[in-house]
Copies of this chain bind each other. A is one copy, B any other.
Amino acid sequence: MVTEIERKVMTASKASISLASVPTQVKDKALETMAEALDAQRKRVLGANATDIENAEKLKQEGKLSQALVDRLKVKDHKIDEMISGIRDVIKLDDPVGKTLSALELDSGLDLYQVSCPIGLIGVVFESRPDVVPQIMSLCLKSGNAVIFKGGSEALNSNRTIFDILVDAIENTPGMPKGAFQLMETREEVMDILNMDKYIDLLVPRGSNAFVKFIQDNTKIPVLGHADGICHVYVDDGAEAKAKAKAEVNLDKAYDVCFDSKVQYPAVCNAMETLLIHKDIAEIFLPKMANMFNDAGVELRCDANSYEIINKLGLLNAIFRATDEDWITEYNDLILSIKIVDSIDDAIDHINTFGSHHTDAIVTENAKNRDLFISMVDSSSVMVNASTRFADGFRYGKGAEVGISTNKIHARGPVGMEGLLIYKYVLLGNGDRVADYAGSDAKPFTHKKLNSNLADVLK
């Protein structure tokens, strides 16, 4: 018995094969049609969203939904504008499919090409935010990947309406295959999707840390994402000698980087959660820094030594002593843990032990310490004299972001469309046999680098 979800997944998987070789201009035409359809059918989207909001308000009154979730659910006209411009941004991105990544002559007339291709079928599991649908759908379409979406039940009507509008637009574009994009609906199907490792090649989750963690823990499908963002800024002393300490750190840079990393937008994964300071600079640096944080309403949780320094200041807000739990907590809020370290090695050790390998920064003018920090901090982004908040697909110039990954394979850090691609090898021969390259009178391989690309050779 093939279930409804299996049918959908198998349909998308089959369609992914055709989608993989759709020409760029057809994909771009489909994207433009998506943008126009969304523009033309704003009222339908707003109407469906109003129904979801109405239901959500009821659940909120029953205490089953937070105000924050209701807010995230809301689609207004300017949100639709953003969806439309997001789709049009993807049209501008280079088609990443079919690029020759390497070419090698194995022997005369036996040429090997490594060519980029889509991964296949992407599973997208998300909470609330209906804008995930146009964003991921356009990125996957451009990169030739099929998608099966599973949204939260609270956005049921919004997701279904946006999805239908976009898929209609795609499937009415001449040359586009049918069935490559599918949407699940009820909450019960999440586990079904997670069990589809036979068909789904990669999962992209969008939601809270707990949501992503649940997905990572309950599937054998590779997951592109991160559960935690415990980011650090380390303010270096800049030198072994105490006397030089003051000169070697530019305090203005330190104040700017630390303040921005914590305060500019604390609710996100790349905000600083722990501030580490070298002991030789702490007494000079911390008083003004603590005052700045205090003025911005940041709650400070300090280790014994930093508590002693800050406590003397008589700040308006209370400060607290940090517990072990603080070093492994992502506050996503105006809360900051502070620790004074004996050396840069201790700082690096703290970051590698308690961090989430997401984004960590050093403030220093010392080249040796900068290089040590860059090479020894095992994180997807390492910042030198720059805010952790820069770790983001848009700021990294990717045009669009699939997600931020703390994986150690495939794609790491802010991931753009390149995270949706893999490659295949294509070997062009003339009836060539391995037998001729084996045994006592084996022909040698030439293994000569070629500058040609497969698309030109096949013309």
Contact = CB atoms under 8 A, between A and B. Distances in A.
Given A222-B222, A396-B112, A447-B397, A425 B413 contact: yes
Contacts of A426: 374, 381-384
A367 B458 contact: yes
Interface string A328-356: 00000000000000000000000010000
Interface string A12-23: 000001101100
Contacts of A363: 431
A119 interface: yes
A25 to B, nearest CB: 16
Contact of A395 (B17, B119, B434): B434
A428 B386 CA distance: 7
A383 B429 CA distance: 8
Contact of A434 (B260, B382, B396): B260
A211 B351 CA distance: 37
Contacts of A374: 426, 458
A40 interface: no
Interface stretch (A82-90, A166-174, A250-258, A307-315): A250-258
Interface stretch (A53-61, A152-160, A183-191, A404-412): A404-412
A108 interface: no
Contact of A422 (B119, B409, B437): B409
A18 to B, nearest CB: 8
A72 B107 CA distance: 31
Nearest to A353: B14
Contacts of A216: 220
Q: Quick one: copies of this chain in the complex?
A: 2
A56 B246 CA distance: 68
Nearest to A397: B447
Interface in A14-52: 17-18, 20-21
Interface string A221-260: 0100000000000000000000000000010111011011
A430 B387 contact: no
Contact of A222 (B409, B425, B447): B409
A95 to B, nearest CB: 14
A106 B71 CA distance: 32
A423 B412 contact: yes
A28 to B, nearest CB: 19
A230 to B, nearest CB: 15
Nearest to A252: B431
Nearest to A376: B17
Contacts of A447: 397
Contact of A253 (B380, B423, B431): B431
Most buried by B among A259, A367, A435: A435
Contacts of A21: 375-376
A427 B260 contact: no
A397 B106 contact: yes
A17 B431 CA distance: 48
Contacts of A120: 378, 408
B375 A431 contact: no
A208 to B, nearest CB: 20
Interface of A: 17-18, 20-21, 104, 106, 110, 112, 119-120, 201-202, 216-217, 220, 222, 250, 252-254, 256-257, 259-260, 264-265, 352, 363, 367, 370-371, 374-376, 378-387, 389-391, 395-397, 408-410, 412-414, 422-435, 437-438, 445, 447, 458
Top-9 shortest CB links A-B: A253-B431, A386-B429, A260-B433, A389-B434, A21-B375, A397-B447, A410-B410, A201-B408, A409-B410
14 contacts: A104-B396, A104-B397, A120-B378, A201-B408, A222-B222, A250-B431, A260-B435, A264-B433, A264-B434, A363-B431, A385-B428, A387-B433, A395-B437, A410-B422
